[in-house]
Structure 1
Amino acid sequence: MTIRSLLASLFGLGLLLGAGAAIAATPPAFTATYNVSQGGQSMGQATVSLHAAGNGEWIYRKDVKGTGGLAALLAASVTESSRFRWKGDVPEAISYDYRMQTAVKQKQRQLAVDWPRQQVSVDEGKGPQSYRAVPGMVERNTLALALGVALRDGKQQVALPVAVRQEVQVQNFKVTGREAITVPAGRFDAQRVDRTDADRGFSAWYAPDRYPLPVKLSQHDGGDMVMELVSYKAD
């Protein structure tokens, strides 16, 4: 594995682990752990958590630490923290902070939403750029949570406005079948979800009657990265 592919994989974790929604009741606070691998080799571990922040706001956080191969050698780590509010069954974005650090490189991205002005500001260290916010939009980190709650509510197709670097991009996802999935957390009759409007090699398997997060994620863009659920605990 090259340093470039390692960093691309870590940077892509937000796409895999992001989304959320809720109908009658929003998901309770939780902590989940995942094994992360690339090309069949162990790369690290991820911890994902959700907790209330007060004033109707929530914090969704993901911490990834490189524990194997080149990721361990480089002491690679990624932290993503999102603040949001539930808007119906969607985790509407308020802010997002991304930090990646290795022994040879650091990267940071910050996103903030000014809802009174309906403006998104994104800064990657070279000065902020702005664009118009869209009601009900999520961002890369909360995307998986939004998908999980939508599936729990019985949706088979989901279109989500996602705040990315330079715009709000509508991304489309669809349940493409059911598959038996075995991961460290157990065996699941899972719903497979694929993105249908982009050829990015993204698939996620959910057991929405049990968890708001996927039990398995697979992303081929950037180097065959797989994440598998190890444990889930409601806090």
Structure 2
Amino acid sequence: MTCSSVEIKHAMRAWLRLALLLLAPMAVAGEVAPTNAAAPPSAEVAAIRTGYVAEYELLRDGKKEGAATVSLRALGDGRWELRNLTTGTSGMAALLGLRIEEHSLVSWRHGRPQTEGYRYAQKMAFRKRTRSVVVDRDAGQIIGRDSRDDKNRIFALRDGILDRQSVNLALAADLGNGAAGALEYAVVGRHAISTWQFQIEQHAAIDTPAGCFDATVASRTRDDDGRVTRTWFARLPTPDARAMLPVRVEQTEPGKDTLVMQLRSYSVN
């Protein structure tokens, strides 16, 4: 297959937006106190846990071009590990060698998740991008770093701050507990702790390769470019009846390709 430079640049811009399609973990009910070097040995661990492995397929304007594997597991010390590996499998995504890895550590406090650390690495053609979040509870600070400016950004630590991947863990948990209307979350950004806003829409049936689900839809619109991300969360048969998993994520932007991730299969640990 021969592709023009215009086609390659167009596809690269589309898949560079893939990071905004945050594949969320299943909601895990219960309270887990943050665990780190300074945490007491008696830190409470949630009695109800839902680890899982979920497989997704990626589409650009309706064409399959990639796959993602998302896993969530308890580490046994009060923290949870969330991993996401996304690769290009066909079309332009494969030609460009798309590969994205995300790794989050999350703890729970007062029934809500918070980041304990985050790593992100994106590789496509000749482009590489990395991000990291380090939580230093002893110093009371969060250190963020992005390869685009390669500078440490230091923010004050407070309960409930999330990284870019774990924000949807909080969203899924809130939806599992019946939240509605407008929801806001504090997320570590490139230059500051920013507020991500979501609007909860009506329930809707959604078809995916994994089956048909009765889902709750959460949407996020960015003010600067009109980009809209909609996520369909559905309850799945798990040990925790409130557990929810994103079964479809769709990103649209005026004049740009439509990117979709949809659930292909899942298993519960």
Provide TM-score, normalisation by structure 2.
0.79
- Equivalent of residue 108 in structure 2, options 86, 90, 95: 86
CA distance in 2, matches of 1:196, 1:21: 23
Amino acid aligned to 2:117:
S
Change (3 A) 1:197 1:208: farther
Structure 1 segments of 4 or more deviating over 6 A? none
1 or 2, which has the higher strand percentage?
Answer: 1
CA distance in 2, matches of 1:196, 1:43: 25
Cross-structure match for 2:262:
228
Change (3 A) 1:109 1:20: same
- The answer to whether the aligner puts 1:219 opposite 2:244 as a matched pair is no
Shift of 1:173: 1.7
Amino acid aligned to 1:128:
N
- The answer to whether the aligner puts 1:49 opposite 2:71 as a matched pair is yes
Shift of 1:23: 4.1
Amino acid aligned to 1:156:
A
Contact 2:26–2:246 (8 Å) recurs in 1:
no
Q: Once structures 1 and 2 are overlaid, which stretch shifts more, 63-72 or 141-150?
A: 141-150
CA distance in 1, matches of 2:105, 2:247: 23
Shift of 1:37: 0.8
- Equivalent of residue 108 in structure 1, options 115, 130, 133: 130
Cross-structure match for 1:153:
177
1:172-191 correspondence runs (5 A): 172-191=197-216
1:1-40 correspondence runs (5 A): 1=7, 2-13=10-21, 16-18=22-24, 22-24=28-30, 27-40=49-62
Shift of 1:20: 6.6
Q: Once structures 1 and 2 are overlaid, which stretch shifts more, 20-29 or 207-216?
A: 20-29
- The answer to whether the aligner puts 1:136 opposite 2:160 as a matched pair is yes
Give secondary structure in 1 for the equivalent of 2:178.
coil
Change (3 A) 1:230 1:209: closer
Shift of 1:54: 3.2
For structure 1, list consecutive stretches of 5 or more residues without a partner in the other structure.
none
Change (3 A) 1:174 1:220: same
Cross-structure match for 1:99:
121
Shift of 1:224: 1.3
Shift of 1:115: 2.1
Contact 2:221–2:227 (8 Å) recurs in 1:
no
CA distance in 2, matches of 1:38, 1:53: 35
Shift of 1:32: 0.3
Contact 1:172–1:197 (8 Å) recurs in 2:
no
CA distance in 1, matches of 2:152, 2:119: 14
Shift of 1:4: 3.2
Shift of 1:3: 4.3
Amino acid aligned to 1:129:
R
Shift of 1:11: 2.8
Change (3 A) 1:19 1:169: farther
Aligned-pair identity (%): 30
| Rg larger in structure | 2
Query: What are the Cα deviations for residues 104-151 of structure 1, in whole angstroms up to 9, with x where unaligned?
Result: 221111111112322111122323121222311111111222211111
